[in-house]
Structures are given as C-alpha cells and as structure tokens.
C-alpha cells in the first residue's frame, strides 16, 4: 500500500515516517489481527523538503496542501492511508487568520475532495486538538461535551472534524480524527503553537538555555509524549472501521499537569540550575488561548479502542531525556 503524510517535514510527521519505515507494514484490522500489508511507498509532503533516509520506499514532495493539483499528483487509488498532519498551529493561526483558514480548513477540504473524486475510500487519520474545546468546561471533558473553541485554530480544527465526519458518513473517506493533547516534550526549536512553552521550559532549561514561560504556574495543561502520539497515529490507521461506527472522533489519553508541577519535574532532571533558567514573561494572548483548553478529558473510549498515553509527566520527561538527551540520562544515572 501507499501511505501519504501531509506535514511530512514537521515534527510529528518525521517521527511517524521513521516509525512507519521501521515497521514496514500496516494492518487493516487492528481488532482481528489482520495480516500486515507492506508499505510500498511513503510520500512525505510539506512546504519544505522533508528529511528522509536513503530508502527506495520514500518519496519526498514539496507543495501546498491547499493546492488541489499537488494532492492530485500525490494521491492515487493505491493510497490506502493518509496521515493529514499539515497545519498552521494555534498561535500562528491566531496571528495569521487567512493563512490558518487556507491550510487548516481549505487544505483539509481539498484533500477530502481529491479522495472523493478518486472514490477509493482511503483511511484518513487527522490530528485535531484540545483547542476545539473552550468556554465553560466541566472538570473533566466528556465525549458529549459541546465544542466552544476560543481561537481561530480551534474553530478551524472543529470545522475540519465536521467535514471529515460528513465525508466519512457519505462514504467518501474512512476518517479517523484524533484529538491530541499538547504534544510535549518536543525536541528542536519553539513552534507556532500557543503551547510551545510546554516543551520549551523543559527542553531549553535542560539544554542550558533561557526558557520563556508565558503563562502562570497554576495553568493546567493536558500532555502526550511524542512517542505515544506516534503510537496513537498508527493505532488509528489500523483500527477496524466498524468499531468506530459513526463516531469518527477519539479524545486521546493524556496526562494532566500544571506548569508548577512541570517545573518540579524539571528540577528532578536538571536541578535548581535548570529551574533558574525559566524566565516568566506573561503573554496575554497565549495565556488566554491555553487556559481556554481543557486540562483533562474522559479517555474511556480511547482506551477501549486500544489507544494509550503516558503514565505521568515524570515518564514524559524521562522519555524525552532517553530519546533526545542521552547525555543527560547518563549524567543522572
């Protein structure tokens, strides 16, 4: 089968590509343990060329996900699984309204339309977000809690969810929407996400750099490690369509923590020196967006479907240190 990743040069796209190439195949029914089907081609689409290993299966393509001609060139009837990760993230979509609409809404619609025209009903795994929630929220968000997004990013993701739901109901695609917690700790540089600080305060501080925290210590946040996020994406692709039924959306497991608790963990891994590198610079826009998101939701359905999250924020930082900072791990051991 052919697999397409939009946003293939992005952080999650790169991780996912590495994982897919290593496993080499995807099953068509997770539930009945169907035989894995080899991945014959893995297309990585992004606006900048994705990094990729020297592997005959990989095809790196550059282009705009909202440009239908680009998608028509890359998707054919053998494209069995599409991971649609390309997105303008929360802070950027708030600052650049038109860009967010074009990529987050029109891009998703273009992708759906190309699949509809082909008529081959591919599995489409879409990454949605905590940001679809907002307003008056219960302590723990339930599957039937109403969406009330308080950012353009959240609105665009919610609209894309609705579209994918309808295209799935009509049989145009076989959609699977994953609402992701904030994915942290990410390596690399700060992103256009309002929650970028959640990675930064650990990453920069452990790396000997100043880490800016734009929100207050009591801010609650709902987190998932990159490793688990990639696992969830693969699980979503392998799920039996029948077990999802008409509900194509899954609220993924996460870990609920506060910024203060995160700093406490930071001190365990990097000591008071690391903690001292955190600079508190309140940013009203970021604070408003992040605090509108739920800090926990009921994950019973996700767990029943086979998705799993992290054990704790401590475990998340441990994974980050293992995966990205082997030197730090040694220092600690």
Residues forming the active site? 153
Of 48, 78, 97, 331, which lies in the binding site for a copy of itself, with binding defined by CB under 8 A? 97
Q: Pick the closest to residue 58 from 98, 16, 12, 115 (CA basis).
A: 16
Q: What are phi and psi of 180, to 5 degrees?
A: -90, 135
Q: Which residue, 104 or 257, has its beta carbon nearer to a copy of itself?
A: 104
Task: Please state the length of the chain.
Answer: 333
Measure the CA–CA gap between 170 and 159, rounded to whole angstroms: 17
Q: State the minimum distance, in angstroms, from the CB of residue 75 to a copy of itself.
A: 20
Complex with a copy of itself: residue 152 or 219, whichever CB lies closer: 152
- Residue 85 CB, shortest distance to a copy of itself, in Å, is 21
Restricted to residues 211-250, the positions that interact with a copy of itself (CB under 8 A) are: 246-247
Residues 128-147 that bind a copy of itself (CB under 8 A): 135-136, 143-147
**Which CB atom, from 115 or from 229, has the smaller least distance to a copy of itself?**
115
Looking at the Cβ atoms of 108 and 199, the one nearer to a copy of itself is 108
By CB under 8 A, name the one of 6, 128, 152, 251 that touches a copy of itself. 152
Cβ 96 to a copy of itself, closest distance in Å? 12
Strands of 249-251's sheet, edge to edge?
58-62, 41-46, 2-6, 79-84, 123-129, 174-180, 249-251
Check: CB of residue 240 under 8 Å from CB of residue 31: yes
Least distance to a copy of itself from the beta carbon of 146, Å? 5
As measured in angstroms, the least distance from the Cβ of 156 to a copy of itself is: 8
208: tokens are 């000997």
Task: DSSP for 9-52, please give it.
Answer: TSHHHHHHHHHHHHH-EEES-TTTTPPEEE--EEEEEESSPPP-
Rounded to the nearest whole angstrom, what is the least distance from the CB of residue 31 to a copy of itself in the complex? 22
Angle at 70 between CA 65 and CA 74, to 5 degrees: 100
Size of the site for a copy of itself (CB under 8 A): 23
Cα 100 → chain centroid = 16
Angle of CA points 69, 115, 159, to nearest 5°? 95
Nearer to a copy of itself among residue 34 and residue 135 (C-beta): 135
If the CB atoms of residues 54 and 136 are measured against a copy of itself, the closer one turns out to be 136
Site pattern 264..303 for a copy of itself (x: CB under 8 A) = ----------------------------------------
Q: Is 166 in the site for a copy of itself (CB under 8 A)?
A: yes
Among 1, 60, 159, 212, binds a copy of itself (CB under 8 A): 159
C-alpha angle 138-142-145 in degrees, rounded to nearest 5: 70
Measured torsion, CA atoms of residues 163, 167, 169, 171, in degrees rounded to the nearest 10: -170
Please choose, from the candidates 113, 77, 52, the residue with its C-alpha nearest in 3D space to the C-alpha of residue 1: 77
Footprint on this chain of a copy of itself (rule: CB under 8 A): 97, 135-136, 143-150, 152, 155, 158-159, 162-163, 165-166, 169-170, 246-247
């Amino acid at each position: 089968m052919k697999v397409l990743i939009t946003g293939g040069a992005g952080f999650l796209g790169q991780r996912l590509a590495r994982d897919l190439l290593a496993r080499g195949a995807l099953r068509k029914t997770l539930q009945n343990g169907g035989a894995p089907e080899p991945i014959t081609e893995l297309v990585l689409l992004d606006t900048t060329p994705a990094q990729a290993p020297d592997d005959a299966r990989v095809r790196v393509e550059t282009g705009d996900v909202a440009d239908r001609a680009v998608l028509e060139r890359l998707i054919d009837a053998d494209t069995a699984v599409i991971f649609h990760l390309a997105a303008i993230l929360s802070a950027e979509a708030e600052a650049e309204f038109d860009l967010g609409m074009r990529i987050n809404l029109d891009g998703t619609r273009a992708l759906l339309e190309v699949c509809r025209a082909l008529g081959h009903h591919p599995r489409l795994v879409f990454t949605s977000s905590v940001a679809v929630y907002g307003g008056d929220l219960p302590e723990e968000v339930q599957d039937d809690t109403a969406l009330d997004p308080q950012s353009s990013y959240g609105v665009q993701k919610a609209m894309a969810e609705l579209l994918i739901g309808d295209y799935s109901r009509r049989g145009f695609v076989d959609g699977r929407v994953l609402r992701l917690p904030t994915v942290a700790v990410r390596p690399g540089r700060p992103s256009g996400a309002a929650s970028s600080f959640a990675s930064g305060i650990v990453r920069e501080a452990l790396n000997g750099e100043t880490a800016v925290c734009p929100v207050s210590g009591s801010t609650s946040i709902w987190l998932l490690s990159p490793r688990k996020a990639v696992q969830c994406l693969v699980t979503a692709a392998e799920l039996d369509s029948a077990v999802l039924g008409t509900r194509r959306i899954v609220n993924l497991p996460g870990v609920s923590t506060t910024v203060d608790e995160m700093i406490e963990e930071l001190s365990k891994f990097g000591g008071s020196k690391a903690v001292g590198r955190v600079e508190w610079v309140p940013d009203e826009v970021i604070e408003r967006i992040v605090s509108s998101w739920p800090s926990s939701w009921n994950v019973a359905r996700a767990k029943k479907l086979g998705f799993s999250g992290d054990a704790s924020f401590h475990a998340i930082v441990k994974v980050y240190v293992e995966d990205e900072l082997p030197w730090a791990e040694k220092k600690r051991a």
